[in-house]
Amino acid sequence: MGFWDRFRKSTPAPQKRALGFLPGAKIPRVSMSTGAFLGAASDRLTDDFQGSELTADEALEASLDKLRARSRQLYMSNPYASRFFNLVASNVLGKDGIRLEGRVKREPGGDLDKPDNDILEAAWARWSKRQECSVDGRTGFLDVQRIALLSVARDGEVLVRLHRSGEFGLQLELLEGDRLLTTHNAELEAGGRIRMGIEQDRYGKPVAYHLVKDPTQASGPRAGGRVQVERVPAEEVIHLYIMERPGQSRGYPWAAQAMRNLHMTDKYREAELVAARLAASKMAFYTSPMGDGYTGDSVDDDGSLVQEVEPGLIEQLPEGVTLETIDWSHPNSNSGEFVKNCLRGVSAGLNVSYNSLAQDLEGVNFSSIRAGVQEDRETYKSIQRFLIDHLLDPVYDAWLDAAMLAGAVPFPPRKRDKYDEVVWRPRGFAYVDPQKDQAAFERAVALGTMSRSEIAAAQGKDFVDILEDLAKEERQAYELGVNISPRQTMPIYPAMIDPEAQAKGEFGDQAEEEADG
Largest CA distance in the chain: 128
pLDDT at 200: 95
Domain boundaries, the chain: 462-517
Q: How far is CA 266 from the centre of its chain?
A: 22
pLDDT at 334: 81
Q: How far is CA 345 from the centre of its chain?
A: 18
Q: What is the pLDDT along the chain (517 residues), one digit of tens a residue?
A: 554 455 455 555 545 444 444 555 555 555 555 567 888 888 888 887 888 889 999 999 999 999 999 999 999 999 999 999 999 999 999 999 999 999 999 888 788 888 999 999 999 999 999 999 999 999 999 999 999 999 999 999 999 999 999 999 999 999 999 999 999 999 998 889 999 999 999 999 999 999 998 877 665 444 445 788 999 999 999 999 999 999 999 999 999 999 999 999 989 888 888 888 877 776 666 666 765 555 555 656 665 555 666 666 666 666 667 777 777 677 777 888 888 889 999 999 999 988 889 888 877 777 777 778 888 899 999 999 999 999 999 999 999 999 999 999 999 888 888 999 999 999 888 766 677 777 877 888 888 888 888 777 777 777 777 887 788 787 888 777 887 766 655 555 554 445 555 555 544 444 444 444 4
pLDDT at 390: 97
pLDDT at 381: 93
Q: What distances in angstroms separate CA 440 from CA 175, 374, 428, 516, one per listed residue?
A: 46, 16, 18, 34
Kindly report the number of other CB atoms within 10 A of residue 195's CB atom: 22
H/E run at residue 206: strand 206-212
Write the DSSP symbol of residue 477. Answer: H
pTM of the complete model: 0.75
pLDDT at 298: 60
> Which residue stretches of 209-316 are H helix?
259-281
Sign of CA dihedral 34, 40, 43, 45: positive
State the number of CA atoms in the 13 A half-sphere of 491 facing the CB. Answer: 20
Contact 370, 432 (CB under 8 A): yes
